[in-house]
Structure 1
């Protein structure tokens, strides 16, 4: 870290552009808001650099969406990778699967590669938090990096984000049919209905998550008397065994939500329903 003072004070787009020589970067999470912001700023911020922190365990739909977005932007989205993959860091952390209480995956697979790529250059990072949201997203602790919130500045809401994506011909990522955020295929923030969605659409990735869970759980139970699971209080095999129950509950909740709020996109209804199943926490690097 350079200097001794944390600088998280946001600036406007105009103020950022007035800083000659600084870098301007925008993180693409694979979700709708960061994609819309990239399109929104395409002709407004010259020399804007796009990046994606790639853990190597992203959904196929995410990689496909990035390719389509690059075609619209006419510029490459830089892929940032940890020097070592998930398996290495899993060993470093003693076989403890990442969890809401210990988010080591975010730290070593996303934040560290990002801050290494940025170095000590004065940098403005453009963040896709909308005007109708009350959250800040990930803000670096490096004093050389300052956040910019163009959507908040210009009053851009979710409906306008949908329009930006539709007008550009990009649309929404396909995973929004069953999942409300980007992130690793085995992300521990997934709700139960999302895990079942993964098992149906990408059974090989679900099986991979089971393999991690069972291997580390066996070793940890033998050595520490502790069982590790991706989802709190239930193994993935147990979850899959009651898939029909989870799906029925989810579909009933979707019907109730749709009847309460008409004329909403599927992703909005899905977000409301899934928020009832395990809260709305998320990795802020992934969620925008």
Structure 2
């Protein structure tokens, strides 16, 4: 029987900050870092993980699901995943993790899994363990580390942010349905091939009777029309200007935000109820 320690990385800022925090504050723990690759991640995510590996001084294990997104799309009758039916998280993120730790749990090892839920996220819950010897731990919540604290960790370490934060608010698949409409517009500008691939998946799903589009109430084909793009960009700028005026000035604690925190601009909780395993 062995005590094991694992920490999942999503490619986002919170889980990266937690990995840095655990390395710096708990060097006595031999932590296995892992990333579950769906095959549909942004290239900026892989670049950031490489940078993080350099700071951690050890490799990040890549857990690849045995079957890709298209396989599971067929298994689910070509119905796209949605906030109500998150089969992508279950099959492409959680299942590979459970398969990875299963031999350890079967051998009686105690596995501690560290999850990057912050102290200011009372509404979030961690992974629900199905095994008595798989323990979920929330170091940020225990240490009182909030969003500003996460930003401090990333900046002070020199690791910084993933480059996609210049135009996108979260990690995850290129076609994640939790994206805001401005993020879809930017995806088309930054990664047009990924946008076209998402359009093709959406078209296939609609032809097979799926009730969902990637963005609620609007197809990607409609969204990319010039007049619609202009509307989305104008609405975004109005919201951004409104947010800047509403930020209180506190000289004792300057407000720190990511390079472009779209969730704050849209006035919704970070991640908009999204899956912690994908976007933390």
TM (normalized to structure 1)? 0.86
Task: Work out the CA distance in 2 between the residues paired with 1:266 and 1:73.
Answer: 22
1:233 to 2:217 alignment: yes
The CA RMSD measured in Å over matched residues stands at 2.0
1:124 to 109, 112, 115: 112
Name the counterpart of 1:287.
Answer: 279
Quick check: 2:6–2:33 contact (8 Å CA) kept in 1? yes
What residue number does 2:16 align with?
35
Is the CA contact 1:30–1:62 (under 8 Å) kept in the aligned structure 2? yes
Partner of 1:53: 36
Displacement of 1:130 in angstroms is 1.4
On the 8 A contact 2:44/2:163 being kept in 1, the answer is yes
Q: Does 1:92 align with 2:75?
A: yes
- Residue 70 of structure 1 is matched in structure 2 by 53
User: 2-side partners of 1:30 and 1:254: how far apart?
Assistant: 25
User: In the alignment, which residue of structure 2 is the partner of 1:8?
Assistant: none
| Mapped partners of 1:159, 1:266: distance in 2 | 10
After superposition, what is the alpha-carbon deviation per residue over 1:143-174, rounded to whole angstroms, capped at 9, x for unaligned? 32111111111111222211111121111111
Match of 1:148 among 96, 120, 137: 137
The count of corresponding residues between Structure 1 and Structure 2 is 264
- Secondary structure at the aligned position of 2:71 is classed as helix
Distance 1:162 1:208 in 2: 33
Gaps of 5+ in 2: 250-254
Deviates most, 69-78 or 173-182: 173-182
User: Cα 1:272–1:206, aligned 2, differ >3 Å: closer, same or farther?
Assistant: same
SS in 1 for 2:279: coil
User: What residue is the counterpart of 1:213 in the other structure?
Assistant: 202
Q: Secondary structure at the match of 1:49?
A: strand
Aligned residue for 2:252? none
Q: How many Å separate the matches in 2 of 1:243 and 1:253?
A: 16
- The match for 1:246 among 229, 232, 257 is 232
Are 1:258 and 1:264, in contact at CA under 8 Å, matched by a contact in 2? no
**How big is the shift at 1:139?**
3.2
Q: List runs of 5+ in structure 1 lacking aligned partners.
A: 1-19
1:26 partnered with 2:7: yes
- C-alpha change, 1:266 and 1:113, in structure 2 (3 Å) is closer
Q: How many angstroms apart in 2 are the aligned matches of 1:35 and 1:277?
A: 20
